Amino acid sequence: MTPAIAKAVFVLLAIGWYVIRLPHTRRSRRVLIVRTGRGAREIVLLLMSLTGLGIVPFIYVATGFPRSADYAFRPMQAWIGAVTAGAALVLFYATHRALGRNWSISLEIREGHRLITNGIYRHVRHPMYTAFWLWAFAQALLLPNWIAGLSGVLGFGTLYFFRVSREERLMLDTFGEAYRDYMARTARLVPWFY
Ligand code: SAH
């Protein structure tokens, strides 16, 4: 593994992510929204996540900026990053498949929204966010730069911590007891742990 290959793996991760998401973004435009938690605050959080996971690392990959934050490349670290990136993509694909038309980029309840509690959602209630955390860790492992590597953890972490309890509140308001039971038997991100 070389620094250039590690950067290429990160770019492939982003392309794979885009390809997996595209049909869902297209379909979601056609499914009616019946209830929304989207507002200025959500838009700011989404922009922070996009900046940390996308814009900052892409400027680094394309230009090397900010060079002063570089540190020594370690092949083993990058290999672990590549495996993490692969796991992120597999999980991202599985969660989109399971959520189907119930998915939204923000906090939204769609017409005919169903609560998904099986498959990949059986033991964990936010596996798509687990996939995003894996992206952020893969980024940190693949890019040997303190700023471009860690901006994903910071950007997505902010979105996650400010969003997750509001999302659960929206699900509780919509699905009541069913979601309360589901919460009682699942973890947020990692089975039987958190
Ligand atoms: N937090 C989930 C889903 C992310 S997508 C995960 O990480 O896997 C965000 C949208 O998914 C929200 O608009 C919410 O309405 C919807 N959602 C979250 N959990 C759901 C579930 N178990 N079943 C159906 N829709 C869900």
Q: What is the pLDDT of residues 72-91, one digit of tens each?
A: 999 999 999 999 999 999 99
Nearest CA to ligand 1 atom 24: 115
Confidence of residue 37 (pLDDT cuts 50, 70, 90): confident
Residue 120's alpha-carbon distances to 57, 123, 141, in angstroms, are 29, 7, 25
Cis preceding linkage at 66, omega within 30: yes
**132 has a pLDDT exceeding 90:** yes
Asked whether residue 9 carries a pLDDT value surpassing 90, the answer given is yes
Atom 11, ligand 1: which residue's CA is nearest?
A: 103
Report CA(152)–ligand 1 centroid distance (Å).
21
Instruction: Please state, for a pLDDT cut of 90, what percent of the chain lies above it.
Output: 99
> Tens digits of per-residue pLDDT, 150-176?
999 999 999 999 999 999 999 999 999
How remote is the CA of residue 8 from the centroid of ligand 1, in Å? 31
Residues with CB under 6 A from ligand 1: 95, 99, 102-104, 107-109, 115-116, 121, 125-129, 167, 171
pLDDT tens for 103-116 read 999 999 999 999 99
Which atom from ligand 1 is nearest to the alpha carbon of 130? 7
Query: What's the confidence (pLDDT) of residue 15?
Result: 98
State in Å: Cα 167 to ligand 1 middle. 8
Task: Give the residue-averaged pLDDT of 124-144.
Answer: 98
Name the residue of 91, 167, 173 whose CB sits within 8 Å of the most ligand 1 atoms, as the mutation to test its pocket.
Answer: 167
